[in-house]
Amino acid sequence: MTSGPPARAPLSPGHPHPSGASTQRAYLDASTVAPLLPAGRDAWLAAIDEGWADPRRLHREGRTARLLLEGARESIAADLGARTEELVFTGSHTEAVHAAVLGTLRARRRVGTRVVLSAVEHSAVLQATHFAGEPLLIGVTESGRVDVSGFTDEVGAEGVALACLQSANAEVGTRQPVAEVAEVTRSSSIPLLVDAAATAGHAAVPAGWDLLTADPRSWGAPAGLGVLAIGANTRWVSPSPADDGTERVPGAVSVPAALAAAVALRTVTAGRAESDRLRRGLTDRIRAVAATIPDTEVVGDPEQRLPHLVTFSCLYVDGEAIVDDLDRLGFAVGSGSACTASTLEPSHVLAAMGVLTHGNIRVGLPVGVTPEAVDEFCAVLPGAVARVRAMLGAEGL
């Protein structure tokens, strides 16, 4: 397998760090955006030279771009378990989710506008359903797993046009019972949207979906592309004005981004078994170390989870303060909601789970992470939490 970028890189010039801190950096925030894989970068650069033309044109340059685009579509579809003709490229994951929700509600408007979905869905799913429909939020267990009986009860309610269930949560890593839910939605003739943004590239995408969305950034591809698959028998009408493009959503597709996404996904899929074994062992180590820190809660299902994600919350401190301290030590981690991280707002996922939301730290191990980087992180983590607590006067509470 082609390895990812170095897990440890030199600190940028002038980067302040306490005495004794490592002079290397480790990016451990690959929950939704992973470092660009070298294979994907090479494909992207090659496609800039060869696939820059409009793939709708009939001249040689256009035909070359079209061949690259269709090859990328076929490859990504195969790796996600979809048919080539079902796959649609959008400008981003958020656009893919919005198109899936809004297009299905438009096609099924005579059925109703109610949408059954878990309370821990990606913010894009929640926002789209609030915008265009009537969301029926289903609670989750303390581990983050959706209440299957509650979900299936609501699916049978009158006026339900769509059901949404993520394949796994991008924040705590808990995998969802998609197969169980899919049986019920299929028998009720309700289309099921499965958001695989957290899963694709890290684990097999579960079957049973009628609509599928994915985010190439999560598997090491460049930004500027979203993936939407619409099942052949799924009623869907574009919620956007008609466009003369080849896609079912408006706007041109970046051929370089599509090719880079295809190559990156094929690379991580080929090495997934080895990467799963390595990263699952490393996240087990992080979970164990975090559990030893006083007044700290490790959240998410310990077994039914993605291999690369760990989330824990520390009482008496702000997650932002711990993120900042770890950043000075050379470790990039996340906090707050994985899909609205720039705001550092309390996580709607953790709130729905009924667990501690304060002092939240989220670790996402990228493909290519080294055991040495994780060992160094585990060595400094308890001290970082203790140091922040002491600065805030919360030591010994």
What digits encode the pLDDT tens for the residues 214-261? 999 999 999 999 999 999 999 999 988 866 655 678 778 999 999 999
Q: 187 and 294, same structural domain? A: no
Q: What CATH number has the domain bearing residue 136? A: 3.40.640.10
Give the model's confidence band at 15: pLDDT under 50 very low, under 70 low, under 90 confident, else very high: very low
Give the model's confidence band at 12: pLDDT under 50 very low, under 70 low, under 90 confident, else very high: very low
Given a cut of 70, whether residue 1 has pLDDT beyond it is no
For every residue of 241-252, DSSP letters joined together read ---SSSSSSSS-
Q: What CATH number has the domain bearing residue 352? A: 3.90.1150.10
Residue 369 counted as domain residue: yes
Given a cut of 60, whether residue 23 has pLDDT beyond it is no
How far is C-alpha 371 from the chain's CA centre? 23
Residue 2 counted as domain residue: no
Tell me the average pLDDT across 86-113.
97
What span, in angstroms and rounded, lies between the C-alpha atoms of 270 and 45? 22
Q: 241 and 284, same structural domain? A: no
Residue 150 counted as domain residue: yes
Last residue of a domain, one of 252, 269, 286: 269
Q: Which residues 6+ apart lie within 8 Å of 254 measured at CB?
A: 224, 225
Query: Of residues 288 and 345, which shows the higher confidence score?
Result: 288
Q: Burial level of 71, CB count in 10 A (0-12/13-18/19+)?
A: middle
What span, in angstroms and rounded, lies between the C-alpha atoms of 288 and 59? 59
Given a cut of 60, whether residue 104 has pLDDT beyond it is yes
Q: 307 and 171, same structural domain? A: no
Task: Say what the pLDDT of residue 18 is.
Answer: 44
Q: Which residues 6+ apart lie within 8 Å of 53 measured at CB?
A: 59, 61, 62, 64, 65
Last residue of a domain, one of 269, 290, 312: 269
Q: 112 and 15, same structural domain? A: no
Last residue of a domain, one of 269, 301, 320: 269
Q: 345 and 250, same structural domain? A: no
What span, in angstroms and rounded, lies between the C-alpha atoms of 341 and 266? 28
Task: Say what the pLDDT of residue 245 is.
Answer: 57
Query: Of residues 271 and 13, which shows the higher confidence score?
Result: 271
Give the model's confidence band at 56: pLDDT under 50 very low, under 70 low, under 90 confident, else very high: confident
Residue 396 CB: number of other CB atoms within 10 A?
A: 9
